Chains A and B, each alone.
Chain A
Amino acid sequence: AQSVTQLDSHVSVSEGTPVLLRCNYSSSYSPSLFWYVQHPNKGLQLLLKYTSAATLVKGINGFEAEFKKSETSFHLTKPSAHMSDAAEYFCVAPSGGYNKLIFGAGTRLAVHP
């Protein structure tokens, strides 16, 4: 069965500095993986998804993630944080049948001036 582990519950960065949100997965087969973001009082929004086409995946708002099989990781990065990036980020994997999503615990990103 697939599972995802987000290594940090909270990350705090200064505006303009890089963002790194870490996610490790475990799967008995080649997974698909997603990053979702939730802004306050908003629904979960898909940032990007990996489906084995390319290991470096670009998403919305300047975010990207790299799938590293050797490290079983799918970390989310952004070169320069913006105040509007403050939100909760979830690393997510679909179940084997793709009928449901399996969520990591979430990482709350704070961006300060």
Chain B
Amino acid sequence: EPEVTQTPSHQVTQMGQEVILRCVPISNHLYFYWYRQILGQKVEFLVSFYNNEISEKSEIFDDQFSVERPDGSNFTLKIRSTKLEDSAMYFCASSLAGGRSSYNEQFFGPGTRLTVL
């Protein structure tokens, strides 16, 4: 069964460093998403991406964040200068379709735990 994969499973970085979190969505999916969950808090939407551009982003997704689909298989989230409060579990998701389509189910990866020291 196809699945979304994420690497690394755990990333430790120093405050101020850049990190890139990698995701491989399901191969025929067209919509991509990043969510995060700070320890003890809700899963929060960060950004959605379709047709090589951002469809929607939350207020969390400021200029320190960027997303990219550098090739036909990867979808990345970059944090330019990490802060302590960026420590969280980051989930990637993908869906075949968007909007109210019957095929809009979002399939999630296992997450990358980012620890900023």
Contacts and interface: CB of A to CB of B under 8 A. Distances in A.
A100 B98 CA distance: 9
B25 to A, nearest CB: 12
Contact of A41 (B42, B45, B55, B110): B110
Interface in A37-91: 41-46, 49, 90
A29 interface: no
B43 A43 contact: no
A40 to B, nearest CB: 10
B108 A98 contact: no
A90 B71 CA distance: 32
Nearest to B48: A99
Contact of B45 (A100, A104, A105): A100
A102 B33 CA distance: 13
Given A90-B43, A104-B42, A97 B99 contact: yes
A95 B33 CA distance: 14
Given A44-B91, A49-B105, A90-B43, A97 B110 contact: no
Which of B43, B55, B100 neighbours the largest number of chain A CB atoms within 10 Å of its CB?
B43
Interface of B: 3-4, 9, 33, 35, 41-45, 48, 55-56, 58, 91, 93, 98-100, 104-111
